[in-house]
């Protein structure tokens, strides 16, 4: 078996934490995966994995091999992608992940048109409110937003959006209007959190006056679209991106509160582990998406 193939098997074992998980991912028998890793160790005369009954942990040499192997495999994938991409006709597959609201409202319609324009391209779009492991899960592009987004992979800023606290007129008639972020302690907050608890951090103020307030809600969800739906139903207050709620505000179904404490706009990025200079299809997707988003409500 070619050393590069063995290397790819080892990298999958390291990512998945064991032979069985890697075997399922690769469509191989666990014994075959173990033999392939054992072959590398025999060839090098080094132990790369410490095997226990439940998990395989990397040795120091294994960690070095894993880091270098990931880089080598990424370079090979980039090389092959460039060679496969015709100068005039982009082709191949793109795997894209995006948060559910912007994915459903903006990215999905864009992807439909994008594939229509380039019929030799295929796009798999995953909508998920958690932050996916871009490299580990094999994504080409991730759409991510927030002041703490890690752009160390490679990132292009797409747009920025206001963050506003909204409630229905009916809720404010029944519970009153908060005048200061500290008043939220006496209100029903609608919490989005990927973890199974009822707290979230809401940002207020700008510049030197930035304040992060931990709010607690009676309603919490890991689906980022639900707080706006609950707010429309009069269940409480939600902090949302302006573009998610602007049509409801213009229609009078939602009202903004705490406007004087509105935080800095939140940037959104397209993150991609392979340089767009090395992949025409990635560059094409991101350039056209950036053009599509330039008219998004700020």
Give the C-alpha separation, 211 to 182, whole Å: 11
CATH superfamily of 92-158+268-293: Periplasmic binding protein-like II (3.40.190.10)
Least confident of 36-40, 181-185, 275-279: 275-279
pLDDT above 80: residue 78: no
Give the rounded percent of residues in the chain with a pLDDT score beyond 90.
Answer: 35
Tokens of 15: 């990512």
Whether the per-residue pLDDT at 295 is higher than 60: the answer is: yes
Q: Is the pLDDT reported for residue 152 higher than 60?
A: no
Residues 12-23: tens digit of each pLDDT: 888 888 888 888
Asked if pLDDT for residue 275 goes beyond 90, the answer is: no
Distances (CA, A) of 288 to 59, 94, 207, 216, 281: 44, 14, 32, 40, 11
Q: Give 71 or 295, the one with higher predicted confidence.
A: 71
Q: Identify whether the C-beta of residue 254 lies closer than 8 Å to the C-beta of residue 168.
A: yes
Q: Which residues pair with 12 in a beta bridge?
A: none
pTM of the model: 0.63
Query: What percentage of the chain has pLDDT greater than the value 70?
Result: 89
- In this predicted structure, which of 25-39, 153-167, 176-190, 264-278 has the lowest mean pLDDT? 264-278
Q: Where in the chain is the domain with CATH 1.10.10.10?
A: 3-84
Residue 183 has phi, psi (to 5 degrees) of -70, -15
Res. 54 pLDDT band, cuts 50 70 90:
low
How high is the pLDDT of residue 261? 94
Residue ranges with strand state E in the chain: 49-51, 56-58, 92-98, 121-127, 141-145, 155-161, 163-167, 190-192, 199-204, 211-216, 219-221, 238-241, 255-257, 266-271
- pLDDT of residue 176 exceeding 90, the answer is yes
Angstrom distance (rounded) from CA 131 to CA 137: 11
Intervals of CATH 3.40.190.10 along the chain: 92-158+268-293, 163-261
pLDDT at 94: 93
> Would you say residue 89 has pLDDT above 80?
no
CATH 3.40.50.2300 fits 3-84, yes or no: no
The segment with the largest mean pLDDT, out of 88-102, 134-148, 201-215, 255-269, is 255-269
Q: In this predicted structure, what is the pLDDT of residue 95?
A: 93
Q: What is the average pLDDT value for the chain, to the nearest integer?
A: 86
Q: Which fold has domain 163-261?
A: D-Maltodextrin-Binding Protein; domain 2 (3.40.190)
């Amino acid at each position: 078996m070619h050393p590069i193939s063995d290397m790819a098997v080892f990298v999958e074992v390291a990512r998945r934490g064991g032979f069985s998980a890697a075997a399922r991912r690769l469509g191989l028998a666990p014994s075959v995966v173990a033999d392939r890793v054992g072959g590398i160790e025999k060839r090098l005369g080094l132990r790369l994995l410490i095997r226990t009954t439940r998990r395989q942990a990397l040795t120091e040499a294994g960690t070095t091999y894993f880091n270098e192997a990931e880089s080598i495999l990424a370079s090979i994938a980039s090389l092959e992608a460039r060679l496969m991409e015709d100068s005039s006709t982009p082709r191949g597959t793109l795997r894209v992940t995006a948060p559910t609201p912007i994915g459903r409202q903006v990215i999905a319609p864009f992807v439909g048109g994008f594939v229509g324009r380039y019929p030799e391209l295929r796009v798999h779009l995953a909508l998920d409110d958690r932050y996916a492991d871009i490299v580990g899960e094999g994504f080409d592009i991730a759409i991510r937003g927030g002041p703490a987004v890690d752009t160390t992979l490679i990132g292009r800023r797409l747009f920025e959006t206001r963050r506003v606290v909204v409630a229905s007129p009916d809720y404010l008639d029944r519970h009153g209007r908060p005048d200061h972020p500290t008043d939220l302690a006496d209100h029903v907050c609608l919490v989005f959190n990927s973890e199974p608890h009822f707290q979230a951090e809401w940002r207020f103020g700008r510049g030197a006056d930035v304040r992060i307030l931990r709010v607690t809600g009676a309603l919490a969800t890991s689906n980022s679209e639900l707080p706006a739906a609950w707010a429309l139903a009069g269940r409480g207050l939600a902090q949302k991106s302006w573009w998610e709620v602007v049509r409801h505000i213009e229609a009078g179904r939602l009202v903004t509160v705490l406007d004087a404490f509105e935080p800095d706009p939140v940037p959104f990025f397209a993150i991609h582990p392979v340089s767009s200079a090395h992949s025409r299809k990635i560059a094409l997707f991101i350039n056209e998406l950036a053009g599509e988003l330039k008219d998004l409500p700020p």
